């Protein structure tokens, strides 16, 4: 009986809540509005974000930094540069998977 209670408690600790949509406003306020994330982007997305076509040499990967609510902060040609931009703006980088 005691072993079953331990198993139930362990399962409860490791269970996840069902996902629910999070509004842009809720995202913007996560971390006190100081969270940002970085992800790779394609040239087409960079063009859309910038509002103008860009020239990127073949093989160069682009990375964009975004506020938690998805608003773009910066586009860079390396993840390290995008991260540096986040830090320079006194934001906290968040890992997203």
Total structural domains within the chain: 1
Angle at 67 between CA 78 and CA 45, to 5 degrees: 55
Question: Buried (b) or exposed (e) across 21-47, using 16+ Cβ within 10 A?
Answer: eeeeeebeeeeeeebbbbeebeeeebe
pLDDT tens for 3-32 read 555 555 555 554 555 577 777 677 667 667
Strand order in the sheet with 72-76: 72-76, 62-67, 35-41, 92-93
Note the pLDDT of residue 1: 56
Residue 9 belongs to some domain of the structure: no
Tokens of 67: 């506020």
The fraction of the chain above a pLDDT of 70, given in percent, is 73
Q: Is residue 17 part of a domain?
A: no
Report the pLDDT value the prediction gives residue 34, as an integer from 0 to 100: 86
* 44, part of any domain: yes
Residue 13: inside a domain, yes or no? Answer: no
Show the domain range for 47: 22-93
Residue 16 covered by a domain: no
Residue 81's contacts (CB-CB under 8 Å, 6 or more residues apart) are: 63
Residue 46 inside a domain? The answer is yes
Write down the mean pLDDT value for the chain. 81
Q: How confident is the model at residue 68 (pLDDT cuts 50, 70, 90)?
A: confident
pTM to 2 decimal places = 0.69
Is residue 52 situated within a structural domain? yes
* 87 is a domain residue: yes
The rounded distance, in Å, linking the Cα atoms of 8 and 42 is 46
Nearest in space to 83 (alpha carbons), one of 38, 47, 51: 38
């Amino acid at each position: 009986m005691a072993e079953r209670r331990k198993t139930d408690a362990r399962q409860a600790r490791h269970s996840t809540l069902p996902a629910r949509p999070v509004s842009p406003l809720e995202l913007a306020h996560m971390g006190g509005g100081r969270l940002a994330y970085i992800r790779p982007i394609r040239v087409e997305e960079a063009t859309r974000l910038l509002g103008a076509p860009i020239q990127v040499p073949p093989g160069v990967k682009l990375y964009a930094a975004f506020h938690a609510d998805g608003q773009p902060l910066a586009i860079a040609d390396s993840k390290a540069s995008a991260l540096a931009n986040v830090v320079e703006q006194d934001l906290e980088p968040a890992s997203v998977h």
